[in-house]
Amino acid sequence: MFTDMEQWNEIRRRVLVEGVSRRQVQRETHLHWKTLKKMLEHSEPPGYRQKTPRAKKKLGPYLERIGQILREDKALPRKQRHTAKRIWERLREEGYSGGYTVVKDAVRELEQKNREVFVPLAHEPGEAQVDFGQALVKVNGRLRKVAFFVMALPYSDAMFVMAFERECTETFWEGHVRAFEFFGGVPTRIVYDNTRVAVAQILGGKERRLTHGFLQLKSHYLFEHRFCAVRRANEKGVVEGTVKYARLNYFVPVPQMRDVEDLNVHLRGRCTEDQERRLRGKEGTKQKRLEEERAAFLPLPTVAFEACRRQSTTANSLSLVRFDDNDYSVPVAFAHHPIVAKGSCDEVVLCHVGEVVARHRRIWEREQVRFEPLHYLALLETKPGALDQARPLRGWTLPESFALLRRRLEAEHGGEGTREYIRVLRLLEKHPLLVLRTAVDKALHAGAIRRDAIAQFILPQEEWRATLFALDGHPHLRGVKVQAPDISQYGQLLAGGVR
C-alpha cells in the first residue's frame, strides 16, 4: 500500500488543485482506483481499519462466562479475585480448548469496558471529608501498626493528619476536635464512608441510623453530614487521595518515634508545611485559600467537646473496673460500688457519685490489667501476710531505704512490724514518694522508725488532731496514772506574780 507522505501530498495536490484527471494519475502511478479514492478523501493515510471484529471461534461461546466471573468478582476482596490465568484454567475445565493469550486479551478488554468513569466535581468552601488509614510506625523501638485520622478540605486542599492506637469512637471524636482546632473552625458539611463508629445501621438508599456517639458530636458542633453510597468510596475521593498521599509522604520511610505523641507533633508540623504548597491551576497557596474558606466555617463552640466515652459499671471483689476489655484498679473502699468509667484517648478516669477515685493511662491492648499499688494498701494493712504475694505490688520499685526500714521493723516487732511497714507506705496516699523517702531516711538515722515518728519528718507535717494513741502491745503502760496539770501557776506568771 502506498504510504509515502510526500507522494501522498503530491497526488492530492495534482488532482484537487491542478485538476489532473484520476485516470492520468492511475496510469502514472499504477494505483488501484480504491487506493486513489482513499488518498483524495483523507489528508493523511488513515491506517488499517477493520469494519467488523474478527470472530473468535474458540473463545466466542465463553465470552459471556468470562463476563459473569468478572461481575461476581466485584463483590469479593481484591486479593481473592480471579486472575486471567485462573479464568483460563476454569474455562479449560468447562471445555475450552484455546490458548491463554486469547483469554488474557479478552479479560483485559472486558475490564477496560467495565472500568468506571467519574465526573469531575466542584467543591464549595466549608466542606470536609473524613477517613482513617493505617501505616507502620516504629514506636520506642517496636514496629507496629497505627491508625491515622485524616480530615481534608477539598476547596483549599488543606489537610489534618493525626495518629492513634486504633480506630474507635474516642479516636474518631478526638480527631474531629483536634482538626477543628487546627483549621480554626467547623466545616458546614462533612462527608464520611459508612464507618461503624458513625453508622449503626444502613436502612437503604441514603437512609442511615446513626450511633449515639456520632449524634453527640454533631449536636455539639452542629455540622451537616453525608454518607457515601455503599461501596462508593469515590464519593469522598479527595480524602481517599489524601490518605494515600499522607501514607507515602509522612510514613515513608517508617517514622521512628519515642511515642505516639511525638509522632503527632511531627504530623501536625508536616500538615502546616503542606499549606505552603500551591494548587495546580489555582492562585495562591493552600494557606491563602484556607483563610478564604474560614469565612464559610461554623465558629468553634465556647466549650470544648469532651472526647471521652462513658460507661457505667461496678467494681468487682478484686477492686477492678472493666473498660474496653481491660481492667483498672480503684481503691479497695470502692469495691462492689457503682463506678462510671470515662475513657479518652490518653487515660481512663474512674468516678463514684461524681467524685474521681482513680486515674490510669489508657491500655490499648486486650485483656490487660493496670494496678495502682496504693489502692490496695488499706486492705493489706488488715492482711499483712499477703504483702509479698500481692499482685498489685509486683514490679513496684521503691527506694532501698524502704527495704531497710521493713527489715528493722520486722526484727523489732515481728509480724506487727510488717503491718507497721504497710502503715508507713500508706503515707504515700497523701505525700509524694520523694517526700516520704526523705522522711524515712531521717527516721532511720534517728532510730525512730514507727509510722507516727516518720510522719513527724514530713513537711508540711501531718494533721495530728485525728491521731489516737493506742496501748496495744504496751501492757506495762496501762497502770500508769498521769495527773492533770495545774496551770494556775502559769497564769500567775503571765500576770507577773512569779519572778
Residue 2: per-residue pLDDT: 47
Q: Which of 368, 367, 363, 379 is nearest to 330 (CA)?
A: 379
What's the mean pLDDT in 315-328? 96
Reported confidence tier of residue 278, pLDDT bands at 50, 70, 90: confident
Q: Judge contact between 83 and 111, C-beta under 8 A.
A: no
226 bridge partner residues? 191
- The model's pLDDT over 69-118, given as tens digits with 9 standing for 90+, comes to 888 888 777 778 889 888 888 888 888 888 888 888 888 888 877 766 55
Reported confidence tier of residue 394, pLDDT bands at 50, 70, 90: very high
Residue 266: per-residue pLDDT: 95
> Does residue 47 carry a pLDDT above 90?
no
C-alpha triplet 45, 47, 51: angle, nearest 5°: 130
Residue 162: per-residue pLDDT: 97
Reported confidence tier of residue 493, pLDDT bands at 50, 70, 90: confident
- With a pLDDT cut of 90, the percent of the chain lying above it is 57
> Across the chain, what does the average pLDDT equal?
88
Cα–Cα distances (Å) from 176 to 47, 170, 251, 464, in that order, read 58, 10, 21, 51
User: For residue 71, how many other CB atoms are within 10 A of its CB?
Assistant: 11
- The model's pLDDT over 125-182, given as tens digits with 9 standing for 90+, comes to 899 999 999 999 999 889 999 999 999 999 999 999 999 999 999 999 999 999 999 9
Q: Which conformational region is residue 325 in: left (phi greater than 0), alpha (psi within -120 to 50 degrees), or beta?
A: left
Give the list of residues 6+ apart from residue 449 with CB closer than 8 angstroms, or none: 405, 408, 409, 412, 443
> Does residue 3 carry a pLDDT above 90?
no
Assigned C-alpha cell, 91 = 474455562
- The model's pLDDT over 119-133, given as tens digits with 9 standing for 90+, comes to 556 668 899 999 999
Sign of CA dihedral 210, 214, 220, 223: negative
> Does residue 46 carry a pLDDT above 90?
no
> Does residue 239 carry a pLDDT above 50?
yes
Residue 1: per-residue pLDDT: 45
Residue 42: per-residue pLDDT: 83
State the helix-helix crossing angle for 84-93 and 100-114, rounded to 10 degrees: 120
Q: Judge contact between 254 and 163, C-beta under 8 A.
A: no
The lowest-confidence range among 126-130, 230-234, 400-404 is: 230-234
User: For residue 398, how many other CB atoms are within 10 A of its CB?
Assistant: 17
What's the mean pLDDT in 297-317? 93
More confident residue, 27 or 341: 341
What's the mean pLDDT in 483-490? 77
Q: Which of 412, 410, 358, 411 is nearest to 384 (CA)?
A: 410
Whole-number Å distance between alpha carbons of 13 and 43: 10
Reported confidence tier of residue 461, pLDDT bands at 50, 70, 90: low
Task: Tell me the longest C-alpha to C-alpha distance in the chain.
Answer: 159
How many residues are recorded in the chain? 499
What are the boundaries of each domain within the chain? 5-41, 60-114, 127-296, 309-370, 380-477
Q: Judge contact between 233 and 242, C-beta under 8 A.
A: no
- The model's pLDDT over 177-222, given as tens digits with 9 standing for 90+, comes to 999 999 999 999 999 999 999 999 988 778 889 999 999 999 999 9
Whole-number Å distance between alpha carbons of 487 and 67: 111
- The model's pLDDT over 381-392, given as tens digits with 9 standing for 90+, comes to 999 999 999 999
Whole-number Å distance between alpha carbons of 431 and 448: 19
Q: Which amino acid is at 451?
A: R
Domain 127-296 indexed as CATH 3.40.50.970: no
User: Dihedrals φ, ψ of 188, to 5°?
Assistant: -75, -30
